[in-house]
Structure 1
């Protein structure tokens, strides 16, 4: 690990950018809205353009990286990140900022999956690989934890553009570390089959639509036609993608590889965690500020148990994985995430102590599953397909996180009468919110538990010696 510190510093800086970027931007959204007189829809796209482009382009760019070089694509992406971040200083409208955020999403898709893939390539030993991924994720989670607080302090003395300009030195650090510490891609490590352009278009379209649809359900409600049209288009694109990949001579994504027990199991673990964490975070935020009337600063303190576990849990991850093994660690940690969501669903509206307990359980499970799920997927793939494997892990997390928020938001829209932000609520509205927490939490818990159960079955099959 000490011998590879330059490379690990560069890869950690990449993950720091991903975790810090959107968390620090959220603090500035009200300021941005006032400065540009932006509509609610435009402001949502300032936040959403990055996520949609990031999630939609990861699969294609992961396949490109496997073909032309993971290190090369990451270095190009870091240059693009630096340029896009510098451009923030010159935007004069919400539309221009949305365009910059979309370009930043492309840069993130070129760099973030590669951080896991290149860390995996640095070491041949399982223990060192887990430790490297743990280190990288810890740096990112520190950024996620301190981002909102640091952003608020910066806004008190500087313009909001400074919050995004911080990506420039991070990109420079990452570029220097990766260029100096990671060897040039070897030709025999690359995937040489021709690119599947049609499969790439269908796959990108399916992911983009899957990320847009949940927001429409939350914003427009289940009674509107647009969410259902987009959902139907998502299914059609997904079916088209699967048919194309099964028929293509050189598919973008070999579905036989995805079906491998370690790969499919790891993706299911990651999907379950993404679903539970996003749904819980959305509901707890609304509960603390709107239902219980906590001011934003106090609500931020209310999330502190989760932050402490995510940041402080790093040293324990390696020991736990070494003791339990990767497969058992994945099963236990994913089950812990689901248990935390279940605690909140049943008891979370009664007292804050139950909310804090749920946050601790979910954070503890997420701290481990964030490492071992990615490791499991990459360990189940050939060495020349690790970039697209890492992209699959991030895509599963992005899509299921959006789905978790959509389920909670849609149930809330269906059961809550009135404007949710108009407080204080009536006793009837409080009861409606609590009912929405129970219903949506139960749905998310059941689906996440089913994914975890299926993943445990798949990885046990691998453990009994099934072919990779």
Structure 2
């Protein structure tokens, strides 16, 4: 039986300062996930020239990582809950270090894609564990929120500075250095986790055997669900392949649900997913993932193609989002203290929906409305990323926290792909001609703006439905317990 929080509290750190070694290691894990793709994207043209890679191969240099990462998170999350969270994370960090070192020997695009796939496996083994271990490290919700905020802030700083850092490195060093930087990050993470976090006790692990069939079906559902959006954008809604891959994801998803409902020891107990805190948190995270990916895609095209901004100026135009994502961490703790975890989740998710609506309705009237939409979505996502994730873990048994963290990451990955697919498909349907052409006709400009409006409002409607479902699901949890603001009587860590 899992131990009660009251039994763990005396052995839990009473401040972030006491757990700084562990938090440094866990922050390094999240930094790897956020920094990896952002720092590599700027090098894709160089990689293409040096490895003689086709456009499709370059797409899979980043796509292989994302697909493997998203497809295996649930399976590795379930394994970590059964065989040890720290053990699985340390194995993943070793794999990350080895795969990163292998970059120095890459001579073809296929070899690089294989290396990126291995890094995706490492990310699936480590990233969900970083949130789960941070949650389990502390006994109080106030410290859990602050620890999660710290870890995500470090990752978002990596996401923000990745392109700039990558450009500076490429000016003085070969592109392989951008992936070799993962080696010291993995080493730092391994030392922090090994020294700062105790090994899992047998009583805290999930005792049931691993549902291998469920793991296979879960992966078979998520992988095509992540591949399909790219196919819709690249080949268009008229092609048969995107629809075939989507159908495969749906069929695998149905089989996965049937398996989990009938298996004696399911990979993912659907009764746990139906718990109010869990289902509401997942709905909020899904809305945030949908909004962030969809809005980012729309704004990037709008600034550069419709308004003619240079890539550098467009990067400056995205700064309001970057500033809020990085600096917003300082406001999460007082906000949660003031309104409580549940209300913070509702309000921040509502901000995401409002940001999408602002862009869909008002972005045609100038950049100020685009900036406001970016700020609203980023602010909402910044809080949801912490609070909804904590709520999901609060709603699960303690021996299921890693698979719970994997579930939140999977929800975000899948809906991010859906957000890009929705916007790309609507643009393809409403815009005639070559969207990348240097000049547009008046008719094409009007078509693009119509597509932006339709896509923005479609995303708004979907995100609003997810948030509404989350609010409805939260009510049973709120009626059964107090929803007072988080008690924060612990010492400061600064």
SS in 2 for 1:348: helix
Matched, 1:360 2:375: yes
Matched, 1:29 2:44: yes
Task: Give a deviation string over 1:260-308, Cα, whole Å, max 9, x none.
Answer: 0000000000000100110000010111111111111111100001111
**Partner of 1:203 in structure 2?**
218
**Partner of 2:70 in structure 1?**
55
Task: Give a deviation string over 1:141-185, Cα, whole Å, max 9, x none.
Answer: 100111111111111111111111111110000000000000011
1:193-272 superposed matches below 5 A: 193-272=208-287
**Partner of 1:324 in structure 2?**
339
**Partner of 2:189 in structure 1?**
174
**Partner of 1:191 in structure 2?**
206
Task: Give a deviation string over 1:168-210, Cα, whole Å, max 9, x none.
Answer: 1100000000000000110001001111111111110000010
Q: How far apart in 2 are the matches of 1:7 and 1:415?
A: 51
Task: Give a deviation string over 1:420-467, Cα, whole Å, max 9, x none.
Answer: 11112222111111111111111110010010011011112211118x
**Partner of 2:388 in structure 1?**
373
Task: Give a deviation string over 1:14-69, Cα, whole Å, max 9, x none.
Answer: 00010000111111111111112211111111110000000000000000000000
| C-alpha displacement of 1:349 | 2.3
Matched, 1:295 2:310: yes
Does the 8 A contact of 1:268 with 1:451 survive in 2? yes
1:23-102 superposed matches below 5 A: 23-102=38-117
Q: How far apart in 1 are the matches of 2:47 and 2:442?
A: 35
SS in 1 for 2:302: helix
Q: How far apart in 2 are the matches of 1:351 and 1:153?
A: 32
SS in 1 for 2:364: coil
**Partner of 2:431 in structure 1?**
416
Q: How far apart in 2 are the matches of 1:44 and 1:173?
A: 30
Q: How far apart in 2 are the matches of 1:290 and 1:158?
A: 32
| C-alpha displacement of 1:329 | 0.3
SS in 2 for 1:364: helix
SS in 2 for 1:333: helix
Q: How far apart in 2 are the matches of 1:296 and 1:178?
A: 39
Q: How far apart in 2 are the matches of 1:223 and 1:154?
A: 41
Q: How far apart in 1 are the matches of 2:152 and 2:76?
A: 21
Does the 8 A contact of 1:262 with 1:379 survive in 2? yes
Does the 8 A contact of 1:293 with 1:424 survive in 2? no
How many residues are paired up? 466
| C-alpha displacement of 1:249 | 0.5
**Partner of 1:118 in structure 2?**
133
Task: Give a deviation string over 1:125-156, Cα, whole Å, max 9, x none.
Answer: 11000000000000001001111111111111
| Among candidates 19, 22, 34, match of residue 34 of structure 2 | 19
| Among candidates 260, 267, 281, match of residue 296 of structure 2 | 281
Tell me the TM-score normalised to structure 1 length: 0.99
**Partner of 2:6 in structure 1?**
none
Runs (4+) of structure 1 exceeding 2 A deviation are none
Tell me the TM-score normalised to structure 2 length: 0.93
Structure 1 residue ranges without an equivalent (≥5): none
SS in 2 for 1:417: coil
